[in-house]
Amino acid sequence: MPEIHVYLAQGRSLEQKRKIASEITDAIVRNLDVAPEVVVVQFIESSRDSKARGGILFSDRDKAAKANSRP
Amino acid sequence: MPEIHVYLAQGRSLEQKRKIASEITDAIVRNLDVAPEVVVVQFIESSRDSKARGGILFSDRDKAAKANSRP
Amino acid sequence: MPEIHVYLAQGRSLEQKRKIASEITDAIVRNLDVAPEVVVVQFIESSRDSKARGGILFSDRDKAAKANSRP
Amino acid sequence: MPEIHVYLAQGRSLEQKRKIASEITDAIVRNLDVAPEVVVVQFIESSRDSKARGGILFSDRDKAAKANSRP
Amino acid sequence: MPEIHVYLAQGRSLEQKRKIASEITDAIVRNLDVAPEVVVVQFIESSRDSKARGGILFSDRDKAAKANSRP
Amino acid sequence: MPEIHVYLAQGRSLEQKRKIASEITDAIVRNLDVAPEVVVVQFIESSRDSKARGGILFSDRDKAAKANSRP
């Protein structure tokens, strides 16, 4: 307690997750006055075929962006 | 806001997820009067070894169904 | 299976939730070919003091918007 | 680690939640060989206006059941 | 994207949640290079009767701690 | 209803998950007086690079533990 879930599309690096886990834990410890060892951070990543914004899968948004960037 | 999580056993097609993401987003936009771009849909899929109904993993239910359907 | 969670700030009406639950369930049944009775939709609502966008709680965003709309 | 979330419609008693938290923790400790103190169980309850099965809110299902049970 | 859920027992102040939402968003923006406006933080709080550690509800842990602190 | 999510770092065996799903379902059925077929258990597992305790990823904790155990 507390537990933090970070919902992401896949593709972030180990180093990015390492830093986010550390900084979120620091924010929780500093503000809630709890021991670091009770803070759990879990990244719940889905493939870009399994996450959407605006009703369009990220994998489809990627394709549309690529098509639009062609000269 | 809002965010929608769809918890599934693995095995659904890209086309199924594409349509569900689109239709859920439409339902949210139509009923809550929000812009599509603030609606996020994430599918959180677990393998059939990692999801159960009635206390029995889907992978075990599959095997039982197969055995029952033998002549 | 499947289970759908809709994460919201509080303040939506019963009628809005009734329609969203019905329309999401229809989208799932239509696309995944499952019986309606296995589809569960749960709204997980937090107060406007407990949800943030852009690092700012919705309750604080409300106040800022109000201040900005003063003549 | 691990963390267990139990998603419920409101209306369960303190005693029911006390027993479930205890028995789920026992099951985790026994099978995963972890210390009880790292096991967290959180009940995430929504009102019967905010949870649906078969596309129908539990509060509406309650009313339908009541109507059907009239002589 | 991304969305962050913070699971807590009830009892934290508005100011604590305001700071945590701001600091988690900063950590995400800084490390993932996304715009602040796409970052959503939601606190999902349960009463101390609805969250347990070590198989014991927080409300029962509070009582035990109180009893132990009596001279 | 109810739905149970078990958040884990990857690495548990099929047999461990089979037993946990069965025992959690038993606990729910026994205490809430519901039919087993409405109880869903889903394991949501993240790699050891995607889960942290005390602000340190499990994969980094593994390395530190290994280093400390060298003679």
pLDDT digits (tens, 9 = 90+) for B15-57: 999 999 999 999 999 999 999 999 999 999 999 999 999 999 9
Query: What are the tens digits of pLDDT across the range A10-67?
Result: 999 999 999 999 999 999 999 999 999 999 999 999 999 999 999 999 999 999 998 9
Angle, helices F14-32 vs D14-32, to 10°: value is 160
Residue E69: predicted pLDDT: 85
State yes or no: pLDDT of C58 exceeds 70: yes
Mean pLDDT of chain C: 95
Sorted by sequence, the CB contacts under 8 Å of residue C47 that are 6+ apart come out as C9, C10, C59
Torsion sign across C-alpha atoms D33, D37, D43, D44: negative
CA distance A55 to B24: 8
Sorted by sequence, the CB contacts under 8 Å of residue C10 that are 6+ apart come out as C45, C46, C47, C48
F41 phi/psi in degrees, rounded to 5: -120, 125
Chain E neighbors (3+ CB pairs < 8 Å): A, B, C, D
CA distance B17 to B25: 12
Rounded mean pLDDT, F43-49: 97
Catalytic residue (choose from F1, F2, F27, F46): F2
CA distance E56 to E58: 6
State yes or no: pLDDT of E39 exceeds 80: yes
Amino acid type, C44? I
Question: Per the CB < 8 Å rule, is D1 touching F8?
Answer: yes
Burial C3-25 (b: 16+ CB within 10 A, else e): bbbbbbbeebeeebbbbbbbbbb
pLDDT band of residue B71 (cuts 50, 70, 90) is low
Q: Is A16 exposed, middle or buried (0-12, 13-18, 19+ CB in 10 A)?
A: middle
Which residues on D lie below 8 Å from F2 (Cβ)? 6-8
Q: Which of C43-52, D58-67, E42-51 has the lowest mean pLDDT?
A: D58-67
pLDDT band of residue F69 (cuts 50, 70, 90) is confident
State yes or no: pLDDT of D1 exceeds 80: no
Which residues on F lie below 8 Å from B48 (Cβ)? none
Angstroms from B67 CA to nearest CA on chain C = 22
Which residues on C lie below 8 Å from B57 (Cβ)? none
Catalytic residue (choose from D2, D32, D38, D62): D2
Q: Report the DSSP pairing between strands E51-53 and E56-57.
A: antiparallel
Q: What's the token pair of residue D30?
A: 């026994």
Question: Per the CB < 8 Å rule, is F2 touching D16?
Answer: no
CA distance E43 to E20: 10
CA distance A67 to C52: 34
Rounded mean pLDDT, D22-27: 98
Question: Per the CB < 8 Å rule, is C2 touching B23?
Answer: no
State yes or no: pLDDT of A71 exceeds 80: no
